[in-house]
Amino acid sequence: MKLSTKHLLGIKHLTTEDIQLILSTATQFKEVLQRPVKKVPSLRDITIVNLFYENSTRTRMSFELAERRLSADVLNFAASSSSAAKGETLLDTVNNILSMKVDLVVMRHSASGAPHFLAKHIPAAIVNAGDGINEHPTQALLDAFSMQEKLGQLAGLKVAIIGDIMHSRVAMSNMYLLQKMGAEVMVAGPPTLIPKYISEAFGVKVEYNLKKALQWCDVANVLRIQLERQNQPLFSSLREYSLAYGINRRLLDSLGKEIVIMHPGPINRGVELDSDVADGSSSIILNQVENGVAVRMAVLYLIANREN
């Protein structure tokens, strides 16, 4: 089976069959990653560039590890230490890299739509590793993989995405993916951090009361306040945010049921999650990170295979 699309620009463009194919391929790669020899020759003749125009820890390392586990040749590009700082355009940078015979571009950029722009202008396949406030497709895929692994199936699952919905590409990709796969989605947080027409536009539930959101859901996917994307104050202080929307053990214990806690990282401990929750038995945060490698291996393998 092959993906219906040449690039992975967003979950918006994937079919449910594409998503199922990526998740089942990731299951096979996760099995490979449990072996003493974790490397397979699948992408031996493929060269991949990781083009990171924005800071990243997990996503960049996870992509690089996935590429190396598949035996691809890997080039790393960080905008801060490159000629982008000397005024070179994105398209010039990429065309120069492609002339070195690169097959696949993994790209993170602070501008929404940057990978879509590139896809129109270059022949290589592109995997979006997060574009502005638009999408972060591989994060949603690894979130889905982790939910499925923990709870069995996505269909019928109740997932609350909590926090700074307005500035979150993780929220966007999760909303698309979970609904395509038959899960129910609620977004929760302060009214100033939730877009006004989100319910009409995306068919998600909206809840401003944290406890009610937690009482409703099976899984809480908790987000960081993306201060770097806010150019005006949208709440009075982090302390106040934490009082109204921070999740602590006491609150979880008061629900009278078990829910699963997720977070894409980086966590701001003591703001959206207390340490006893982030590191507690309900949390699958480190499983998400582990699964990220298998999921990205699946994405890269399927995209590269479609090309051949």
Nearer to ligand NCD, 108 or 180 (CB): 108
Query: DSSP strand E in the chain: where?
Result: 47-52, 73-78, 104-109, 125-131, 158-162, 184-188, 205-207, 219-222, 260-262
Residue with smallest beta-carbon separation from ligand NCD: 224
Nearer to ligand NCD, 42 or 115 (CB): 115
297 in Cβ contact with 28 (< 8 Å): no
Which x/- pattern, by CB under 6 A, does the window 169-198 give for ligand NCD?
A: xx----------------------------
Nearer to ligand NCD, 30 or 136 (CB): 136
What's the CA gap between 265 and 58, in Å, rounded?
Answer: 8
Tell me the site size for ligand NCD, rule CB under 6 A. Answer: 11
3-state secondary structure at position 110: coil
Lateral strand order in the sheet of 260-262: 205-207, 184-188, 158-162, 219-222, 260-262
259 in Cβ contact with 25 (< 8 Å): no
Torsion sign over Cα 137, 109, 63, 282: negative
| Interacting residue with ligand NCD among 132, 265, 270, 280 (CB under 6 A) | 265
Tell the smallest beta-carbon distance from residue 130 to ligand NCD (Å).
5
What's the CA gap between 18 and 124, in Å, rounded?
Answer: 20
Tell the smallest beta-carbon distance from residue 170 to ligand NCD (Å).
5
What's 193's DSSP letter?
G
Nearer to ligand NCD, 25 or 139 (CB): 139
| Interacting residue with ligand NCD among 8, 25, 90, 130 (CB under 6 A) | 130
Which x/- pattern, by CB under 6 A, does the window 204-243 give for ligand NCD?
A: --------------------x-x-----------------
Nearer to ligand NCD, 46 or 277 (CB): 277
Tell the smallest beta-carbon distance from residue 1 to ligand NCD (Å).
27
Nearer to ligand NCD, 42 or 167 (CB): 167
Q: Which long-range contacts (CB under 8 A, 24 or more apart) does 152-158 make?
A: 154/178, 154/181, 154/182, 154/183, 155/181, 155/182, 155/183, 156/182, 156/183, 156/184, 157/183, 157/184, 157/218, 157/219, 158/183, 158/184, 158/186, 158/216, 158/217, 158/218, 158/219
Is position 136 an interface residue for ligand NCD (rule: CB under 6 A)?
yes
Nearer to ligand NCD, 155 or 286 (CB): 286
Residue 150 has which token pair?
Answer: 């923990």
203 in Cβ contact with 37 (< 8 Å): no
Residues between 266 and 285 with contacts to ligand NCD, criterion CB under 6 A: none
Is position 139 an interface residue for ligand NCD (rule: CB under 6 A)?
yes
Tell the smallest beta-carbon distance from residue 228 to ligand NCD (Å).
9
Nearer to ligand NCD, 170 or 220 (CB): 170
Q: Which residues bind ligand NCD (CB under 6 A)?
A: 58-59, 130, 136, 139, 169-170, 224, 226, 264-265
